[in-house]
Amino acid sequence: MPNAIVTGAARGIGLATAKLFLAEGRQVAMIDRDGDALAKAAEGLDHVLPITCDVSDEAQVTAMVAQVTDAFGSVDALVNNAGVADFRPLGETDLQIWRRVMATNLDGVFLTSQAVIPHMTQGSGAIVNIASISGLRASTLRVAYGTSKAAVIHLTRQQAAELGERGIRVNCVAPGPVDTKLALAVHSKEIRAAYHDAIPLNRYGTEQEIAEVIVFLCSDKAAYVTGQTIAADGGFDATGVGLPALRQN
Ligand code: NAD
């Protein structure tokens, strides 16, 4: 049975991705630092291996990967999805906040990939890193979050460059706004309305819509795609400022 590791799998985009992998016949290691939420999410699901692990902690990541490879053998797909958001002005972003965001969003992707890569199925392994439109276009209040996600986009290319000759593909998905707990915590009513204005499809995305792109990139259907970032964002990244006013005309 093919397998996948999904980090941040207790809820949101990670849980939707885990469920889609299951529906496609993979067994899934569901990784999250919130053990209670993870246990609830995994309840009633077959072919899952839930493991509580903080992806920013090297020792925990090493132990988690050992547990997964004991159970699965080699790893077919890794989705580095665990992430945290923090929106605040430059002047209020102190080093502790910066480090907290980088620890999960960037170190977590680096550490988990480093630990998993030696165990990836040679010739057909796939990694998908989850960035954000905030890593593609700069915006106010996202000095730490946006920078961490821009780094994930470049880390994806670095990994793709080195792992290509081993047949391991590495791609990135940059989601637009999706109604998850993460977004609810940082998107005010005003931010929500502004997003609707700035997105050609004029709405938030769903967890399922992001999961579909992730699962596609992990599949053989994307066998010749590596080093790419796909924005699943309703057109936000492709379009410029000022269009909402034009649209009203
Ligand atoms: P969410 O908050 O609903 O879920 C994130 C999960 O990751 C949670 O279960 C949390 O416990 C887990 N997690 C956080 N830090 C962790 C760590 N250090 N170790 C292990 N688990 C950890 O968030 P979501 O909206 O589903 O976001 C998933 C990914 O998508 C994140 O990387 C996020 O930055 C990205 N993203 C989300 C949106 C959006 O609007 N929701 C937009 C762009 C990008």
Q: What residues are labeled active site?
A: 145
Percent of the chain with pLDDT over 70: 96
The total number of structural domains in the chain stands at 1
- Nearest protein CA to atom 17 of ligand 1, as residue: 54
Q: In what order do the strands lie in the sheet with 27-32?
A: 48-52, 27-32, 3-7, 77-80, 126-130, 169-175, 229-232
The first and second tokens of residue 142, run together, are 């996202």
Residue 190 covered by a domain: no
Q: What angle do CA 109, 114, 119 make, to 5 degrees?
A: 120
pLDDT per residue as tens digits for the range 74-105: 999 999 999 999 999 999 999 999 999 999 99
| pLDDT above 60 (res 249) | no
User: Quick one: average pLDDT of 135-139?
Assistant: 95
Q: Give the CATH number of the domain where residue 53 resides.
A: 3.40.50.720
Q: How far apart are CA 126 and CA 231, in angstroms?
A: 18
Q: Does residue 12 have its Cβ closer than 6 Å to ligand 1?
A: yes
Domain membership of residue 166 as a residue range: 3-178+205-233
Does residue 48 fall inside a structural domain? yes
**What is the structure's pLDDT at 187?**
86
Taking the centre of ligand 1 as the mean of its atom positions, its distance from the CA of residue 8, in whole angstroms, is 6
Residue of 6, 7, 13 best suited for mutating to test ligand 1, as the one with most atoms within 8 Å of CB: 13
Give the closest residue to 55 by CA, choosing from 164, 136, 152.
152
Higher local confidence (pLDDT), 114 or 196: 114
Assigned token pair, 57: 């902690």
The DSSP secondary-structure symbol of 142 reads B
3-state secondary structure of 76: coil
Q: How many angstroms separate the most distant Cα atoms in the chain?
A: 61
Q: Which of 84, 132, 182 best tests ligand 1's pocket when mutated (most atoms within 8 Å of CB)?
A: 182
Residue 51, both tokens: 């493991």
Task: Give the Å distance between the CA of 173 and the centre of ligand 1.
Answer: 13
What's the mean pLDDT in 124-140?
96
CA–centroid distance, 64 to ligand 1, in Å, is: 18
Say how far apart CA 205 and CA 184 lie, in whole Å.
13
Give the number of residues written for the chain. Answer: 249
Of 30, 180, 214, which is best to mutate to test ligand 1, by the most ligand atoms within 8 angstroms of its C-beta? Answer: 180
H or E segment and range at residue 167: none
Please indicate, yes or no, if residue 153 is contained in any of the structural domains: yes
Averaged pLDDT score across all residues of the chain: 95
pLDDT over 90, % of the chain: 86
**Within-domain flag for 64:** yes
Classify residue 246: in a domain, yes or no: no
The pLDDT assigned to 118 comes to 97
- In this structure, which residue's CA is closest to atom 23 in ligand 1? 182
Query: Per DSSP, which regions of 105-223 are E strands?
Result: 126-130, 169-175
- Is the Cβ–Cβ distance between 15 and 37 less than 8 Å? no
Encode 96-144 in three state secondary structure: HHHHHHHHHHHHHHHHHHHHHHHHECCCCCEEEEECCHHHCCCCCCEHH
- Confidence tier at 161 by pLDDT (50, 70, 90): very high
Residue 186 lies in a domain: no
Q: Establish if 241 belongs to a structural domain.
A: no
55 versus 123: which is more confidently predicted? 55
DSSP class of residue 178 equals B
What is the number of the ligand 1 atom nearest to the C-alpha of 108?
Answer: 18
The answer to whether position 184 is within a domain reads no
